[in-house]
Amino acid sequence: MELRQLQYFVKVAKKQHVTQAAEELHVAQSAVSRQIHQLEEELGVSLFVQKGRNLQLTSVGKLFLSRMETILLDLERAVTEVREFLDPEAGEIRIGFPHSLGIYLLPTVVASFRKSHPNVKFRLRQGTYNSLIRDVMKGEIDLAFISPFPDNHDHVSGHLLLQEELYAIVPQGHELAEQGTIRLEQLKDDSFVMFSEEYSLRSIVLEACDKAGFVPQIGFEGEETDTIRGLVAAGMGVSLLPEMALTEISQLQPAKVRVTDPKVTRSIGLIQRAGDRLPPVAERFQSYLVHFFSDT
């Protein structure tokens, strides 16, 4: 069994198509088909079945894929660790983040770190709360910024970095736009522009509204802070957004008002796979972040 066969198998399983897999691998289609056939002969089982123009994994093929993905990821990490051991300043950090932290926080800390480590590369992956935890657990990324920070989790661990305040945002002509502070209850009759259900900020806002004694009327839903901010500025409703998501100035700019009752915050942390040893360069970045936020 050769490494090339396993790599070709995983690629075909992901694409469900030999031609597309061959194109991404930059090899002939016949070479991919031949390696898959040899792998099936050596294992004595069929890994794929033809369904229309696509290939689908058999039940044993699905089992084999789950094992091979883990093995190939571990192999990739082993090669990376060896390269970093030879040149620890030229490694790669695979890091995930939610969209709301990609506007200001992530660029700030990456740029700061690279001032003293200019040859370190970053592979970035944006995701939702659940997808980031899943990617860390599967070993597809080394670290992930996440909010809210999971205090107790069986499969990930990490560091709480900071607590960030959420502000109410309202259209510029809103009756509360000029207020210094408000009670969240004062927005109970307004239509809310809310994050979609898979986003953790939605649950934070819903919980805050519940503490304030009302269920928000949801008029619009969105998946990015820029969209929500723009809809509010255009008069489509009100919302709550983290302070970092309101640093950028745009043509459509809502009014920002502090909420004091209840005060709404979110925790932001950095996670890794529990019990796992990070690659040296990722461990260095993790240590840098912990000190960066403790000093800020």
User: pLDDT tens per residue, the chain (296 residues)?
Assistant: 788 899 999 999 999 988 898 998 899 999 999 999 999 999 999 999 988 888 899 999 999 999 998 899 888 888 877 877 667 677 889 999 999 899 899 999 999 999 999 999 999 999 999 999 999 999 999 999 999 999 888 899 999 999 999 999 999 999 999 999 999 999 999 999 999 998 999 999 999 999 999 999 999 999 889 899 999 999 999 999 999 988 877 778 999 999 999 999 999 999 999 998 888 889 999 999 999 999 87
Supply the pLDDT for residue 79.
84
Supply the pLDDT for residue 124.
96
Supply the pLDDT for residue 86.
64
The CATH number assigned to the domain with range 88-162+267-295 reads 3.40.190.10
Q: Would you list the domain boundaries of the chain?
A: 3-83, 88-162+267-295, 164-265
Supply the pLDDT for residue 136.
96
Question: Is the Cβ–Cβ distance between 47 and 41 less than 8 Å?
Answer: no
Question: What is the DSSP secondary structure assignment for residue 173, as one 8-state letter?
Answer: T
Supply the pLDDT for residue 295.
81
Supply the pLDDT for residue 85.
67
Taking the alpha carbons at both ends of the chain, their separation in whole angstroms is 52
Q: Do domains 3-83 and 88-162+267-295 have the same CATH topology?
A: no
Condensed to tens digits (0 to 9), the pLDDT of residues 47-97 reads: 999 888 888 999 999 999 999 988 998 888 888 778 776 676 778 899 999
Q: Which residue has the tokens 């009302």?
A: 214
- How far is residue 80's CA from residue 184's CA, in Å, rounded to a whole number? 50
Topology at the third CATH level for domain 164-265:
D-Maltodextrin-Binding Protein; domain 2 (3.40.190)
> How does strand 181-183 pair with strand 121-126?
unpaired
Supply the pLDDT for residue 63.
93
Q: Which CATH number fits domain 3-83: 3.40.50.10680, 3.40.640.10, 3.40.1260.10, 1.10.10.10?
A: 1.10.10.10
Cα dihedral 8, 13, 15, 18 sign: positive
- How far is residue 164's CA from residue 3's CA, in Å, rounded to a whole number? 46
Radius of gyration of the chain (CA): 24
